[in-house]
Amino acid sequence: MMIVAFLGGGIAGIIGAACTLLFTDLGWGMALLAYFAVGYGLPLAVLAANSVTRSQDSDLPTPDMAHR
């Protein structure tokens, strides 16, 4: 999950940086900031959401089918 999140974030960061350069007059500094903000912010948000939902799933009762 972590590898997929960072690969997706890297691709989204490149697209965000390219769009920043093509559609705005902000320059290379803001394109670099967009790359790192999206490229690392998006995967960290996905991993944080995954850990929150995974911890809530452990509270569910599990069936005892192995004992029967």
User: Per the confidence metrics, is the pTM higher than 0.75?
Assistant: no
In this prediction, residue 49 carries a pLDDT of 87
Task: Tell me how far apart the alpha carbons of residues 44 and 40 are, in angstroms, rounded to a whole number.
Answer: 6
pLDDT digits (tens, 9 = 90+) for 4-58: 888 888 899 999 999 999 999 988 999 999 999 988 888 888 888 888 887 655 5
* Rounded Cα distance, 35 and 6, in Å: 12
